[in-house]
Every structure is written in C-alpha cells, then in structure tokens.
C-alpha cells in the first residue's frame, strides 16, 4: 500500500518533525528557544525533503517521459520538447508549493514572536526566505527533469543534488581556500560558483536578526534570477523527450 506513496512520508515529515525535533534538545535550560528551533527545524526539513525527494521525483519524471514513449507521442502530436519540460516542471511545483506553504504555516502559527514589530519582521523574513528558496530550488528541479530525460534518473538526481550541496556548503570551503592561498583559478571558480548559501536565512530566524533590507534582498533576487535563466537555458537544450536509440 505504501508503494509510491512517499509523498505521505514527506508530508508527515514537514508537519511533524518541526513540532517534535525541538523537544529532543535540552530545551528546559531555556524554553524561549523552542520557537526559533521550531522554525529552524521546519526550514531544514524543507531543504532536506526537496533535495532528497523532490529532485529525485523531477529526475524520474524526465526519465519516464523519454523512456515510456509518451514524450515521442506528444512530440509527434505537436507538443514541443520545451513545452513538455515546462509542464513536467510545473507538475513538480504542485508538490513543492504546498510544502513551502506548510513550512510558512509552521513558522507563522507555531513560532511567531509575540511583539507586534517583531511579528511583522518575522513574517517579512519568512516570506523573503520562501522567495529565495524557490528561486534556488525551482531551476535545479528543471535541471533534474532535463538531465533525467537525457541521462536517466540517477544522473538527473545526483547532479542537482551535488550542485545544491556545493552551493550551500562547498562554496564556503572554497572561500577559505582562496583566503589561504591566492590562486587565479580558485578565485575564478569562486566567482562563477552558485552561492546558494546566500538564500539560507535560517540564522536570521534563529537569532531574530530581522528581515533583509529591500535593496539587499533585491540584489539576491536578481543574482538568483540570473542563475535561474542560465539553468533554464541549459535545461531546455538538454531535455530529450524521446529515448536515444
């Protein structure tokens, strides 16, 4: 019965883990930390579910479209490869958007600070976080769909996963290396790397640093929109609606 019902597990994780995990910490020493911890757990769960499950779903959809012959069928009836890819990608968003909604719901209903101005700031920070999260994750899902259609679901899954891990954590190590030794190649690599860690606003929520200034936020939006355009172009060139024979 549970076969191919992983979405139930994802849904339960997104709803329950943010409520349960904070109580597994020594929260008794400072009970006021429960609420920020709940917000942190909600956003971390969303990142993990997206990377572990949604990227794989996107890659699998791409793979099945080309392997099942349905991509060739639609192509013959006049639905272009680009249109097919966008439709598969939109189908993946129908999984993602409710999960983002749940995360925001947990943060607003289960972790909202009591003060009026703090609450306002909290809402703004979470909305900024959701926007940046979507700008980072949605193009990677498109990459998963297109690579899955051409190279199979394993490659389609691993590449966006590695890109996201590299963008979140690897770039930080690269920054340390460039500080230790001056190397033109490393400097260049640092500049062209996707700095996905900038979209992670979890520390702002935990330490209640408040929302980003609109100018700062818009800079990030433009930066991630640029990456999105590049990845969308790459995906549209890579997507293969028919199996390679």
Partner 1 sequence: MNSASSKPRIHLAQGLSIGYGESLARIDGEGCGILLEGGTHYLLARNGRGKTTLLKTLAGVLKPLGGDFECKGRCQYLSEDLTFDRELPARAILKALLNKAKLDDALELAEAIELDVEKPYGKLSTGNKRKVALLVAEFSVCDEDLDVLLLDEPFTGLDTFSREAFQKRWDQCQDGVLRLVSCHPDFDSMKLTSSVLITDGEIKHISTDAGDQSWGELKPQLN
Interacting residues toward partner 1 by CB under 8 A: 4, 64, 68-70, 72-73, 75-78, 242, 245
* Least gap, CB of 232 to partner 1 (angstroms): 24
- In the complex, the smallest distance separating the C-beta of residue 101 from partner 1, rounded to whole angstroms, is 25
- Name the residue among 194, 203, 58 with its Cα closest to residue 129: 203
Q: Give the nearer residue to partner 1 in terms of CB position, either 48 or 86.
A: 86
- In the complex with partner 1, which residue's Cβ is closer, 32 or 245? 245
Q: Cβ 1 to partner 1, closest distance in Å?
A: 12
Write down the least CB distance from residue 100 to partner 1, Å: 25
Looking at the Cβ atoms of 40 and 240, the one nearer to partner 1 is 240
Q: How far is the CB of 144 from partner 1 (least distance, A)?
A: 18
Cβ-based nearer residue to partner 1, 91 or 225: 91
CB of 195 to partner 1, least distance (A): 38
In the complex with partner 1, the residue whose CB is nearer, 65 or 128, is 65
Query: Can you give the chain as a three-state secondary structure string?
Result: CCCCCHHHHHHHHHHHHHHHHHHHCCHHHCHHHHHHHHHHHHHHHHHHHHHHHHHHHHHHHHHHHHHCCHHHHHHHCCCCHHHHHHHHHHHHHHHHHHHHHHHHHHHHHHCCCCCHHHHHHHHHHHHHHHHHHHHHHHHHHHHHHHHHHHHCHHHHHHHHHHHHHHHHHHHHHHHHHHHHCCCHHHHHHHHHCCCHHHHCCHHHHHCCCCCCCHHHHHHHHHHHHHHHHHHHHHHHHHCCCCCCC
Which CB atom, from 4 or from 185, has the smaller least distance to partner 1? 4
Q: Do residues 47 and 140 touch, judged by C-beta distance below 8 A?
A: no
């Amino acid at each position: 019965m549970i076969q191919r019902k992983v979405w139930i597990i994802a849904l339960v994780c997104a709803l329950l883990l943010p409520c349960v995990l904070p109580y597994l910490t020594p929260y008794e020493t400072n009970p006021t930390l429960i609420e920020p911890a709940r917000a942190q757990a909600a956003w971390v769960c969303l990142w993990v579910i997206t990377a572990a499950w949604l990227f794989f779903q996107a890659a699998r959809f791409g793979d099945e479209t080309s392997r099942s012959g349905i991509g060739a069928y639609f192509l013959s009836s006049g639905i272009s490869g680009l249109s097919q890819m966008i439709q598969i990608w939109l189908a993946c968003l129908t999984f993602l958007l409710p999960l983002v909604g749940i995360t925001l719901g947990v943060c607003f209903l289960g972790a909202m600070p009591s003060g009026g101005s703090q609450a306002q700031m909290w809402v703004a920070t979470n909305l900024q976080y959701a926007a940046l999260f979507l700008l980072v994750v949605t193009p990677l899902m498109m990459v998963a769909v297109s690579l899955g259609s051409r190279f199979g679901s394993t490659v389609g899954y691993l590449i966006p996963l590695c890109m996201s891990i590299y963008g979140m954590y690897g770039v930080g190590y690269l920054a340390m290396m460039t500080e230790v030794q001056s190397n033109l190649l490393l400097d260049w690599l640092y500049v062209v790397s996707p700095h996905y860690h900038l979209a992670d606003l979890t520390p702002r929520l935990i330490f209640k640093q408040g929302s980003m200034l609109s100018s700062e936020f818009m800079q990030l939006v433009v930066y991630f929109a640029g990456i999105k355009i590049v990845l969308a172009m790459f995906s549209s060139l890579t997507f293969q609606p028919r199996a390679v024979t």
